A and B are shown apart, each in its own frame.
Chain A
Amino acid sequence: MFVEYTWLVPLLPMICFVAVGLIGKRTPEGGAYLAIAGAAASCVISVLVAYEFFTSAAYHDPGYVTAEIEWFKIPGGFTLHFGYYIDSLACLMMLFASFISTLIFVYSKGYMHEQGAKKRRYYAEVSLFLTGMLGLAVSSNFLEMFVFWEIMGLCSYLLIGFWSFSHPEGDDAADNAASAAKKAFLVTRLGDVCLMAGLFVVLYSFGSLDYVRVFDAAAIHAVDQDMLVLGSLLIFGGVIGKSAQFPLLDWLPDAMAGPTTVSALIHAATMVKAGVYLVARCYPLFAQASEVMLFVGIIGGVTAFFAATMALNNMNIKRVLAYSTLSQLGYMFLALGAGGYLIALGIETGDHHLIAAGAAGYVAGCLHMANHAFFKALLFLCSGSVIHAVGTEDMRKMGGLHRKMKITSVTMLIGSLSIAGFPFFSGFWSKELVLETVMHASDYGAEGYLFTILWLLAVVTAFMTAFYMFRMWFMTFSGKPGHASEHCHGESPASMTAPLAILSAFAIGFGFTILFGFDALLSIGVEGPHHQFTVGAGEAKGFEYLSDIFGSAYTYLTIALVLGAIGIAHLMYNKRSVDAGRFNGGGESFVYKALTKRWWFPQLYDQISWKLGYGVARGVDFIDRQVVDGTVNGLSNAVAGGGELIGKAQTGDVRSYTWAVVAGVVLLFALMLALFYFIGGGI
């Protein structure tokens, strides 16, 4: 009874987008209340839909419910549909996206209060952003998904560039924002083009883009397996762009040029999560080939590690958080890749144990996605609260803020503990599950040893994560007040702190859902040639996870590493008894420079776009003017006798010439008619 109204979930924010755009100026706070109402209403409907989906037995058997209308047809038997497809993954996505967005919108009311007339644009754009994410979550086919995917790309462009003109901090900041917005759009566009190619492969191979028709055992095994691998990799190319994975990761740190609330939206509720969603959604395709899943895992593991290194010495509070997002996304892909790898092997061999082990990876990836959504939203909103209070993003100018901003300080501590994987905070559960799956995957298959390496990377990443998060927390909140802290005017308004409190509760508690049946809710059908499997949706393992996690020695290793990292950060940045400069040659060592230069990724991008883009373009332009057009002008000069024609035209004796042209046309007609007459008579 509620599921039929799923289409309202993306539609309500869409209506808000139009309404705020048209009449936002005349409503209080530039449309803030409209946007909040739209997001909250979507959230309520999402809850109702999810409630009905999970409780009604009717939906359990196929594990999804879908409805669609015919959208348009391409000759050759291709019909594209428009509709919704609700399964546990879609429910999870729309629940946390709409819930967190609502909180972020409420928070924005305080955060964006001083933006004046720009608020209308802000609330219109974030509403559209939410439309994109919710639409993506409930889409019934790849094409519809792609439409929303790109709408999100547009919104991120608009919002990252929110201050790309008349920036409150001056022209340089405006230039920066404009450049960051362009970079975000173009780098993700590179991925989107791959994704589009992937859609062509799928559409051509399957004759349809509908999830129900593509994720069908008979259909999957009827298509050319090489094309299936190609299509999967191309789709994953889109994911690499959208979720900022290696090597397309460099746009996300620059995207910090937008308002902090936008960063929270992009990192927690929307945009980068779309990539994770797509991999989880495409599990039935990707899991047909173990090399695809291996690739997903490698990209994830490498990104997790690289991004974490760059966060180690960054002085900008938002950038540290941005790198941590990249790193955590890497964990999600690592989990999904490792789980999928096991499933792929399971499908090949028909071994149900492997499938079950792989399902754990799927659950771990999705749980980490949800957990990350909560604690990352919390962390960004906290950093926004800090920036709002002190007016800078440079952590060197902060310090000692704990006394002045107690709520922000405590909530941010909760977020940091959660992301660091401190025991019993939500991040802990999912991170341990991720590591466990990767460890498991390393035991199987010919390429299993690669997962051993990835596991090592992931463990080192866990250590680095705990270190840089607490480095950030200590630099901001403890120690002596910095230059900017002295101007701090105290805690932020309640509209900002209330969302922080709510998110903290989830950052602490959401991980426990794994003990109470999260894994049973989450299911996805993966089908092999001889076997049909439903991944997840089995019996909830419940408290077995406790013995799983705490029965393993590796868990204690990571806990020790996390505690050690926090301790080191404490010594370096709180007690200041250890000088951080000793480890990096006072900021002169090669590694330190490499990190500040972001492993030269920006230069790499610049070089590629400058050489392959502008360089070639200049060449083409030269050829166009000198060779192609030169030939044309040369020919016409030769015909008209040494440039007389062009010369005459340019000296101004035009009127006579134009009439000559008309006369020529008339003469031509006359000739033509005469020709007709003679030839016609001859026939």
Chain B
Amino acid sequence: MIYDLQIEIPYLLTLLLVVPLVGAVATAAMGGKRERYAKYVAGAFSAATMLLATVLLFTKDMGVYDESYSWIESAGLRMSYILHVDGLSVLMVFLSGLLVFLVTLFSSREGDRPNCFFALLLAMEVGLMGVYMSADYFLFYIMWEVTLIPMFFMISWYGGPRRHYAAIKFFIYTHVASVVMLIGIFALVFQSASGGVADFSFQAVLNGQFSDTFQAMVFLLLFFGFAVKMPAVPFHTWLPDAHTEAPTAGSVLLAGVMLKMGSYGIIRICLEALPQGAEHWQWLIIATGLVAIVYGAYACIAQRDLKKMVAFSSISHMGMVMLGIGCLSEAGIQMGIFQMFAHGLITAVLFMVCGLAGHNIGTREIPLLGGLASKMPLFAFFMMFGFMASLGLPSLVGFWAEFGIIFSFYEYASSNGMLWLIAFCLIALLLTAGYYLWAMQRTLFGRLTSKIDLSHVHDISRPEAAALGILCLLIIAFGFWPQAAFDFIEPYVGSLGAI
């Protein structure tokens, strides 16, 4: 095990919450004349968080870590501050730390109230870390909501022309979903209450006894809550709007780590606590996944806005995660988790590239672009790299996830006599190549566009190239050696005994 360095840092998980929190406050305080130093403060804190998140990978037991303190204990209610990281969450924690640092680096040119901008990023990191680490439903729900608020302000303060509409839509849509999820959580917690105490910790709920009917009903509530977040067709329309209007940093975090909260929730809560419910609704999970994969891919072809296209591609690729989970097999879940990680890395590249198109060229409308490879070679390189990674080029990280998921689904379909369903996945693979290649042809290649003024167009700046370069290196590294990620996921999936 290359990871087994046995590093131990006391209160590591709490630090992962506290450092960005302190950073957010400190950055927010850098208003007025000190504004231009805000990015350095934010950079330092996000770098520290990223380092801690990386250290977590090298701790004992492959990143499995616990911290637990009792918090609120009243008559009949117990809410605890329990943080827990295992194979499911460790890669997401790493990804959150990494992406927040990289978008801070990437956005270093931000000139409009930078202190607020960077503080929002760090605040979002607190929420994200919290969601992925909490092992108590109360804490989980708080953190879930905490991620919403900075994202809401991120869109409505720093977004595009229709930002207010998009921000409100994002907020209300996902909020409604989380209320439904909350009802599900209550049902879980109070049903599992024993000895007159409703214990909100994950462990207590796992110990609860649920009837099959109860499982099936509550599963639906929670599944709806998480599916909106992922997002699953037909509850996805908030996503393209939010992405189109969000600033680049917001989009990267939204697609890179926030969408994964949905799939994380499905595995962590729906599958762990309600295995029979999952079995009962297996057809629904699979159908949702398949529909998202094909529908998202088709929608991509018709998009004119580069960023909207990438947003729809996220829907398609998160459908892959859903499909992997839906197989309810070790292989499927493992590859689904791996796809969450892979998609996080790849989609970050994609949204950064789209952001650069909007920022450096002035428009993201594909029909207005063309021949940019001659003017912006670096931009063209990263765009091509991102697109190739996203369409599943072997030897890059996305391929293994797709390959594994479709293979798991093949196993499922084959043993259930529904082999023809595989055709949907294959069609989607083809469509994915189609929309990316067509988009590249129209933006990067062919004649240089004369529809827009290109006199101010400049290539990528150094910090932006650095952020993109780091992501590309990781995409290659995990593409050559996917086992490096499987080492974390395997033990977790193996312990999901119910499946």
Contacts and interface: CB of A to CB of B under 8 A. Distances in A.
State the majority secondary structure of interface residues on B.
helix
B459 interface: no
Interface in A614-665: 614, 616-618, 620-621, 624, 628-629, 632, 636, 645-646, 649-650, 652, 654, 657-658, 661-662, 665
Interface stretch (A176-184, A450-458, A548-556): A176-184
A146 B76 contact: no
Given A73-B486, A161-B445, A193-B426, A628 B234 contact: yes
Given A73-B483, A174-B371, A661 B394 contact: no
B198 A683 contact: yes
A175 B447 contact: yes
B446 A171 contact: yes
Given A190-B430, A683-B197, A74 B394 contact: no
Contact of A676 (B77, B179, B234): B77
B158 interface: no
Contact of A681 (B76, B169, B395): B76
A665 B483 contact: no
13 contacts: A166-B371, A174-B446, A178-B441, A613-B431, A620-B299, A620-B302, A628-B237, A661-B168, A679-B76, A680-B198, A681-B74, A681-B76, A683-B197
A185 B145 contact: no
A14 to B, nearest CB: 11
A681 B422 contact: no
A151, A194, A620, A646: residue with the most chain B Cβ atoms closer than 10 Å = A620
A164 B446 CA distance: 5
A179 B444 CA distance: 12
A190 B452 CA distance: 35
A654 B164 contact: yes
B281 interface: no
A5 interface: no
B171 interface: yes
A146 to B, nearest CB: 6
Interface string B123-157: 00000000000000000001001001100110010
B407 A203 contact: yes
Given A204-B407, A649-B164, A680-B76, A197 B422 contact: yes
B82 to A, nearest CB: 17
A621 B165 contact: no
A116 interface: no
B437 A186 contact: yes
B206 interface: no
A201 B394 CA distance: 18
A185 B432 CA distance: 12
Contact of B445 (A177, A190, A649, A650): A177
B483 A71 contact: yes
A465 B323 CA distance: 51
Given A179-B441, A620-B302, A72 B482 contact: yes
B274 interface: no
Interface string B105-135: 0000000000000000000000000000000
Interface of A: 71-76, 78, 146-147, 149-151, 154, 157, 161, 164-166, 171-172, 174-175, 177-179, 181-182, 185-186, 189-190, 193-194, 196-197, 200-201, 203-204, 609, 613-614, 616-618, 620-621, 624, 628-629, 632, 636, 645-646, 649-650, 652, 654, 657-658, 661-662, 665, 668-669, 672, 676-677, 679-683
Contacts of A621: 298-299, 302-303
Interface string B228-261: 0000011011100000000000000000000000
A181 B483 contact: no
Interface stretch (B5-13, B31-39, B265-273, B326-334): B326-334
Contact of B156 (A190, A201, A658): A658
A184 B330 CA distance: 37
Contacts of A193: 426, 429-430
B173 interface: yes
Interface of A is mostly: helix
Given A203-B407, A680-B76, A613 B446 contact: no
Given A203-B407, A683-B190, A74 B335 contact: yes
Given A177-B445, A646-B168, A681-B76, A665 B431 contact: no
Contacts of A73: 483, 486, 490
Contacts of B142: 669
A649 B165 contact: yes
Interface string B430-460: 1101100110110011111000000000000
Contacts of B75: 680-681
B373 interface: yes
Nearest to B74: A680
A178 to B, nearest CB: 3
B58 interface: no
B411 A204 contact: yes
Contacts of B301: 613-614, 617
Given A613-B434, A658-B152, A658-B153, A165 B394 contact: no
A171 to B, nearest CB: 4
> Which of B142, B406, B441 has most A Cβ within 10 Å?
B441
A253 B44 CA distance: 55
Contact of B173 (A179, A614, A632, A657): A632
Top 4 A-B pairs ranked by shortest CB distance?
A617-B301, A178-B445, A680-B77, A75-B330
Choose among B167, B295, B434 the residue with the greatest number of A CB atoms under 10 Å from its CB.
B434
A557 B426 CA distance: 47
B168 A657 contact: yes
A150 B394 contact: yes
A147 B394 contact: yes
Most buried by A among B75, B371, B394: B394
Contacts, number: 201
Nearest to A631: B234
B74 A200 contact: no
Interface of B: 74-77, 79, 142, 145, 148-149, 152-153, 156, 162, 164-165, 167-169, 171-173, 175, 179, 182, 190, 193, 196-198, 233-234, 236-238, 295, 298-303, 329-331, 334-335, 371-374, 388, 393-395, 399-400, 403-404, 406-408, 410-411, 414, 422, 426, 429-431, 433-434, 437-438, 440-441, 444-448, 481-483, 486, 490, 493-494
B475 to A, nearest CB: 14
A488 B75 CA distance: 98
A618 B408 CA distance: 31
B334 to A, nearest CB: 6
B394 A679 contact: no
Contacts of A649: 164-165, 167-168
A388 B482 CA distance: 46
Of the listed residues B77, B145, B236, the one surrounded by the most CB atoms of chain A closer than 10 A to its CB is B77
A118 to B, nearest CB: 10
A74 B407 contact: yes
Contacts of A154: 388, 393
A75 B237 contact: no
Nearest to B422: A197
B395 A147 contact: yes
B493 A75 contact: yes
Nearest to A630: B237
Given A629-B237, A679-B198, 18 more contacts: A72-B400, A72-B481, A74-B404, A76-B411, A151-B394, A154-B393, A165-B444, A175-B447, A186-B430, A189-B429, A193-B430, A620-B298, A628-B233, A632-B173, A646-B168, A654-B156, A665-B149, A683-B193
Given A147-B394, A181-B445, A189 B411 contact: no
A166 B374 contact: yes
Contacts of B298: 616-617, 620-621
| A149, A151, A181, A196: most-surrounded residue (chain B CB, <10 A) | A196
Contacts of A75: 329-331, 334, 490, 493-494
Contact of B414 (A185, A204, A661): A204
Contacts of B331: 74-76, 78
A165 B374 contact: yes
